[in-house]
Structure 1
Amino acid sequence: MDLAALEIFRTVVEAGGITRAATRLHRVQSNVTTRIRQLEQSLGVALFVRDGRRMVLTPAGQTLFDYARRILQLSDEARQAVQPAHPHGRLRIASMESTAASRLPTVLARYHQAWPEVELELVTLPTRQALEALRRFEVDCAFVAEPLDDAELVKRPGFTEELVVIASAQHPPIHTPADLERPTLLAFEAGCNYRARFEDWYNRCGHPAGRVIQLGSYHAIVTCAAAGIGVAIMPRSVLALYRNLPQISIHPLGEEGRVATVLAWHRAMGSAALDALADMLPGVAAPPQAARGISRTSRPR
């Protein structure tokens, strides 16, 4: 005896017969008749007395009908509890530091206003670590940088970033790694997608990897770049957050600097709260406010 059989049985009783029940259920009459007979056989009792075209409940049928209504109601309540019609509960989000700082505040403020019953938790992690947390089910979703090739993960377009190289204000234009006065890279820990992109760019030009100084915040990275300790790669949108940007030079990377940020989650972790967050994403970011500083424009490559 399963829920589908109980649903068919209840509909036959409420509709007053096989024909009308089949219409309501969008099934052929023979299928409804077969399911009722199978239910009677599994229970070992007759549920209806068939009097011509009429179907009258037997005492056993009346008892089952009472239970069927209660069971199906509980089933509906259970479905609503785990898949609510409106977002509620806890939503654990992992995000890259840059996205959390420059893109998410507005989105999360709108989300909190629209869905106050959702308890938001946000942790910042580099892309690789965020994906690992996602696969361990330590978070419900993650904002990570493309490329993302994992058949178990669902992804929704979020934002498009422009990555730029920053250096001291006196640094000459940077077109290739050979233009770097100091090849020291200021970056987050290994696992950062932007750091990996910079290192790939460096290696493709045939230069040995330079020294990497790992720092824990973009503010530290910017001030160290301004001091001439090294160079860094970061989204222009992060630089746009500064009211008083330290004296740095900004070097665009052109098409190589365009990176898509996506919202990713495991297929089994979908929820109304997560769907509501995905629906608030723009899919592509508006052009960020120009960051102040000395802009060095790259020549075409």
Structure 2
Amino acid sequence: MDLDDLDIFRCVVREGGIARAAARLHRVPSNITTRIKQLEARLGVALFRKQGRSLALTESGQTLLGHAERLLLLAEQAEQEVRNGTTHGTLRLGSLESTAGARLPSLLSTFHLQHPGMSIELQTGITDTLLRMLARFEIDAAFIAEPFEPGRFSSRPAFNETLTLISAQGTPRIHSAADLSGQTLVVFPHGCSYRRRLTEWLAEEGVTPGRILEFGSYHAIIACVAAATGIGIISTELLDHAVLGNAVQRHPLPDRLRLNRTHLVWTDQPGAPLQALMALLP
């Protein structure tokens, strides 16, 4: 498969259409259209479909985009290494926000000091979102939390975490699941591993919480809990680093729920940047 064809295909996706891709690549639109049609004929599938006045990727196009991103990145890395004689490359890394806030700052600092020719592009999200991004080859690796289904991904434990319930200062102590009956839960959206642990525990104990408030960041969750909005679940390692960490009260979970591991997961054979990062893990 021709790398130039893949670059044209990727540009059409990024620019959202033939005309803008042609302008970006300094080609005439008819040339871009012909190259896309030739690529579709070679693969025997449609890569785009009409969506109003714009183009949208088909399922086959989405699959090809992930592979195209990786192949073009590998080609760029190979050229840099041959030209400069040193290892370069970019690692597209996904991470839980808790891991990014508590675990990654020192790790990435060491990485950049030891490997100045490599770079990391970091995106945060919940476990299920990060796994979907891996499956679509939008990222190369991700730090996610238990529980999760590894599927076809490779994985290794990265960090041990301790989970705790949090409430506003001065609220009654939480001794069991029953104490959460009717309480408002302040959590991440569906797909968060910590939320899954909490809700499964309550279901096992036959406890029904009150409302569930969903927020997209730990900063918002901690702030709302501190304001006596409800009960949250969080990594103690992150809480120790949080600005409002002292504004909430901690309540220990049962042992089987308290201890949790963060894993690094990836697809295919790890490239040089990922291998360099893995070498720094505990």
TM-score by length of 2: 0.67
- The structure with the larger Rg is 1
Contact 2:159 / 2:263 at 8 angstroms: preserved in 1?
yes
CA shift digits 1:63-112 (9 cap, x unpaired): xxxxxxxxxxxxxxx9x938969642111000000000000011011001
User: Per the alignment, in what secondary structure is the counterpart of residue 106 of structure 2?
Assistant: helix
Q: Report the CA distance between 1:114 and its aligned residue.
A: 0.8
Q: Hey, what does 2:210 align to over in structure 1?
A: 210
User: Matched residues in 1 for 2:154 and 2:281: separation?
Assistant: 15
Q: The residue matched to 1:173 in structure 2 has which SS?
A: coil
Q: Distance in 1 between matches of 2:142 and 2:230?
A: 30
- 2:144 is matched with 144
2:241 is the counterpart of 1:241:
yes
User: Would you say the 8 A contact 1:155–1:265 is kept in 2?
Assistant: yes
What is the aligned length? 203
Which residue does the alignment assign to 1:266?
A: 267
Aligned to 1:125: 125
Match in the other structure for 1:81: 78
Aligned to 1:106: 106
1:226 maps to amino acid: A
Where do residues 149-160 of structure 1 align in structure 2 (5 Å cutoff)? 149-160=149-160
- Measured in 2, the distance between the counterparts of 1:152 and 1:131 equals 11
Give the helix-richer structure, 1 or 2.
Answer: 2
Partners of 2:133 and 2:106 in 1: how far apart? 24
**CA distance in structure 2 between the aligned counterparts of 1:124 and 1:107, rounded to whole angstroms:** 16
Runs of at least 5 residues in structure 2 that lack an aligned partner in the other structure: 1-74
Map 1:1-301 onto structure 2 (within 5 A).
Answer: 81=78, 87-180=87-180, 183-242=183-242, 245-255=245-255, 256-268=257-269, 270-282=270-282
Cα gap change, 1:265/1:167 in structure 2, threshold over 3 Å: closer, same or farther? same
Determine if contact 1:130/1:144 at 8 Å carries over to the other structure: yes
RMSD: 2.2
Q: AA paired with 1:206?
A: G
Runs of 4+ in 1 over 4 A off after TM superposition: 82-87
What is the distance in 1 between the residues matched to 2:242 and 2:95?
A: 20
SS in 2 for 1:251: strand
Separation (CA, whole Å) in 1 of partners of 2:241 and 2:152: 35
Q: CA deviation at 1:223?
A: 1.7
Give the percent of matched residue pairs that are identical in Structure 1 and Structure 2.
40
Q: CA deviation at 1:123?
A: 0.3
Counterpart secondary structure, 1:240: helix
CA contact (8 A) 1:176 1:205 kept: no
1:47 match = none
1:117 Cα deviation after fit: 1.1
Render the CA deviation track for 1:239-280: whole Å, top value 9, x for unaligned. 111355353210011421111001100124x20111111111
Is the 1:141–1:264 Cα contact (8 Å) retained in structure 2?
Answer: yes
3-state secondary structure, aligned to 2:159: strand
C-alpha distance in 2 between matches for 1:89 and 1:113 = 15
**142-151 or 194-203: which moved more?**
142-151
